[in-house]
Chain A
Amino acid sequence: MRKILVLALLGVFAVMGLAAAAAAEDVIKIGHLAALTGDWAAYGQTEVNSAKLAVEEINAKGGVLGKKLQLVPYDFRTRPEDAVNAFRRMAENDKVVAVIGANGSGINIATAPLADKYKVPQIGTVSTNLLVTVDEKGVLHPYMFRICFTDPYQGQLIAAFSAQELKKMTAAVLWDVGSDYAQGLREFFMKYYDQYGGKVVADLGFRAGTDVDFRAQLTTIRDSKAEVLVLPNMGKEMALIMKQARELGMKDIIFVGGDGYGEFMWEIAGDAMEGSYWINHVAPEDPAMADFFKDYLKTYNDECKEFTNGVLAYDSIYWLADAITRAGKVDSTAIKDALENTVNVKLHHATMSIDPATHNPMNKTGVVLIAKDGRGQFFTKIQPE
């Protein structure tokens, strides 16, 4: 009797084990490192909602390699130490094949050594710092990727937009000497503007936080006859610069900036904002994203305010699905190789190619916003040659 019971139990366990194994083979688990609580909760919730949308769409069309995708979200509570623990659990307990997120560079810099150790590729959504994929010594983290472009790359986009789209060949730069971000954008802008045949006729600095009067620099810029004024900065200084430039009678110079655009700048600069251009990752009015925003509104009854996070998380899933298909098997290392060899993969918001040396997107399409009628509006998409 006892023997039978043991046998029966063994049988039950065996069946359960088989079922579990079968279930495990039927789904492809993708981890999602998201801030569902804490300061970044609004971003994290949008990301998970958007990623789920992508997973459902892909599963409805038959999944990947005949298997369903399954999203495994983990909350890192906006704290790097929780992100590290969450990554361990995803890799050890949940056996995810890849991880998407997080939406901040600091978090991804903390999890990069783990991705390398567990050999689980991770795709940062809005992690723009250079150190996310490459450490301080310039050594590549082989399992770290990102879907967004890096901060300094915006400088290249500004150069391409000014020279190729606006066809303006003289430019001035007015940048915050105390900011890493501005320094990087300026350096890339100068390098590529030169390559595209443009000429930087004035290169001037200021200190954010202490300087509020820019008329001295602007007078020099006016005398340099620059057609474009590049503002690779963050914050209210840009608004003050535009306002003071117009007051000095510089009515034709065109302002071009990076993703430092903020709605609050209208209040400071007023009409001086009109007609300025701003480079960004994505735009809510991008026609290619219209379906996504419509579905998002329908599914969650929410207008997806954190649209950059939403779009990038959504397309991260599509990129990963494409990489798994190209890898031909559900194996983390093969997926990593496929991600690394991404060439001209068509996603919704952009066409992706990855630089194998840095794991940064190459010549990625950027969105140009134009400040018009009191708000930032979609103007065009650009991709440098």
Chain B
Amino acid sequence: METLLQQVINGFSLGSVYALIAVGYSLVYSILLFSNFAHGGFLVIGGYICYYTLAAVGNNIWVASLLAFLGAGVSAVLVERGAYKPIRERTNVTLYLLIASMGMSIVIENIFVVTVGGRFRALPPVIPMTPVSVFGLATTSAFDILSLVMAMIFLAGLQVFLSTTKWGLAIRAASYDLKTAGLMGVNVNKLISIVFFVAGLLAAVGGIFLSVRYTLYPQLGLITIKAFVAAVIGGLGSLPGAVVGSLILGLAEMLTAGFISSQMRDIVVFGMLVLTLLWRPTGLFGKHISEKV
């Protein structure tokens, strides 16, 4: 029982970090209908900005986080302007965007490899990692609780932004139909920039938590593959789906590794992806295809 509780806590803490990344994926997907594989790159950008700011300003996590959020958000907008906009202006085929995003993910990774090198970097202990006992039954670290809380705060903030602001309304409208939203007077290019900025910002939040926990290196963005799987399981384009899918995935990974076999972990994760695609291709919370077409 204690073990089960411990593994469930482990699973939620892993899932909450997946959620931050998966939500960014889903947000972009809901507007432009393509999976932005460069998303992992924004995460790495956020991580490195945080790392170097911490070194420069003396372990002030607030300044470092703020700069990381802004930097990753702006890079996401620049990538969209530079690599995706010329394509989406020329064609409706989202496959080209997908290919461009794969290219950008390799470009970003290698920019870091050649400039700062492939070495593993540890962020200074700006976030407390002390073990915390949960009702005397299980142990987690202060860091895990914090990452879960921060993930919830940012996701709630996103929800508020989408449901109460004018641009939030425009984004929701665009997720139904981008063209019609444009015809209704929404500045589509500005809207897409905002979406990418928000996605980049969320990626930076995930990037900071990931690099504190797992160290920072140029290939850290690869972990977004798991977040992508979570987004698909939850239903690409659906924000609640991305969160639920991430938590399910985090739990499944931990429970498999803990109770079945640690080597079965990835088989279970990708098996779940295949089963979802077979039985419910739009995912748990996915919109019906008829709405999309």
B262 and A206 contacting across the interface, CB-CB below 8 Å: yes
- Is A58 interfacial (CB 8 A cutoff)? no
CB pair B254 A215 closer than 8 Å: yes
Contact A270–B120 (Cβ < 8 Å) = no
Which residues of the partner chain A approach B122 to less than 8 Å between Cβ atoms?
A: 267-268, 270
Cα distance, A210 to B129, chains bound together (Å): 23
Complex contact B120–A268 (CB within 8 A):
yes
Residue of B nearest to A174 (CB): B262
Of the stretches B6-14, B79-87, B156-164, B165-173, the one at the interface is B6-14
- Residues 239-287 of B contacting A (Cβ, < 8 Å): 253-258, 261-263, 265-266
- The distance in angstroms between the C-alpha atoms of A292 and B263, with both chains bound, is 46
User: From residue B181, how far is it (CB to closest CB) to chain A in Å?
Assistant: 39
**Assembled-state Cα–Cα distance A148/B222 (Å):** 38
Do residues A217 and B139 form an inter-chain contact, with CB atoms below 8 A?
A: no
Within 8 A of B (CB), among A221-242: 223, 236, 239-240
Cβ-defined contact, B139 with A223, below 8 A:
no
A249 to B262, CA, bound (A): 21
Determine the residue in chain B with the shortest Cβ distance to A218. B10
Q: Is the CB of A216 within 8 A of B215?
A: no
- Within the complex, the shortest CB–CB distance from A300 to chain B, in Å, comes to 30
Smallest CB–CB gap between B283 and chain A, Å?
23
Contact between A204 and B143, CB atoms less than 8 A apart = no
Q: Which of A211, A212, A216, A249 contacts B258 (CB 8 A)?
A: A216
**Distance (Å) between the CB of B136 and the closest chain A CB?**
11
Look across to chain B and name the residue whose beta carbon is closest to the beta carbon of A177: B263
A267 near B121 (CB under 8 angstroms)? yes
A219–B263 CB distance below 8 A: no
From the candidates B2, B213, B253, B266, name the one contacting A216 in the complex (CB within 8 A): B253
- Please determine whether A219 and B3 come into contact, CB atoms closer than 8 angstroms: yes
- The chain B residue with its CB closest to the CB of A267 is B122
Interface size on A, residues (CB 8 A): 27
Is B223 part of the binding interface, using a Cβ–Cβ cutoff of 8 Å?
yes
Residues of B within 8 Å of A288, CB to CB, are none
CA distance A246 to B263 in the complex (A): 23
Cβ contact within 8 Å between A219 and B258:
yes
Contact between chains at A205 and B120 (CB < 8 Å): no
Instruction: Please determine whether A216 and B10 come into contact, CB atoms closer than 8 angstroms.
Output: yes
CA–CA, A61 and B133, complex, Å:
67
A264 lies within 8 A of chain B by Cβ: yes
Q: How many angstroms between the C-alpha atoms of A174 and B57 in the bound complex?
A: 39
Taking a contact as CB atoms closer than 8 A, the residue among B7, B120, B265 that contacts A219 in the complex is B7
Could you tell me if A216 and B262 are in contact, using CB atoms closer than 8 angstroms? yes
The CA-CA distance from A207 to B269 in the complex, in Å, is 14
A262, chain B: closest CB distance, angstroms: 10
In the complex, B292 has a CB within 8 A of chain A: no
Establish whether residues A248 and B7, one from each chain, have CB atoms under 8 Å apart when the complex forms. Answer: no
Is A240 a contact partner of B257 (Cβ separation < 8 A)? no
* A49 to B131 alpha-carbon distance, docked (Å): 50
Once the chains are docked, how many angstroms separate the CA of A219 from the CA of B215?
Answer: 21
The yes or no answer to A213 lying at the interface (CB within 8 A) is yes
Contact in complex: B131, A216 (CB < 8 Å): no
Closest Cβ of chain B to A210, distance in Å, is 7
Q: Are B120 and A264 in contact (CB under 8 A)?
A: yes
Complex contact A213–B14 (CB within 8 A): yes
Task: Please judge, given known A-B contacts A219-B3, A236-B215, whether A212 and B223 are in contact too, CB under 8 Å.
Answer: yes
User: Are A205 and B262 closer than 8 Å at their CB atoms?
Assistant: yes
Question: From B222, which residue of chain A is reached at the shortest CB distance?
Answer: A210
List 6 A–B pairs whose Cβ atoms lie within 8 Å, in order of A's numbering: A205-B262, A206-B263, A220-B262, A223-B3, A249-B131, A264-B119
Give me 9 other A-B pairs in contact (C-beta within 8 A), A211-B265, A219-B258, A223-B3 excluded.
Answer: A204-B262, A205-B262, A207-B263, A216-B10, A216-B254, A219-B6, A236-B215, A247-B129, A248-B131
4 closest pairs, A vs B, by CB?
A216-B257, A249-B139, A212-B214, A249-B131
Chain B residues close to A by CB (< 8 Å):
2-3, 6-7, 10, 14, 119-122, 125, 129, 131, 133, 139-141, 143, 213-215, 222-223, 253-258, 261-263, 265-266
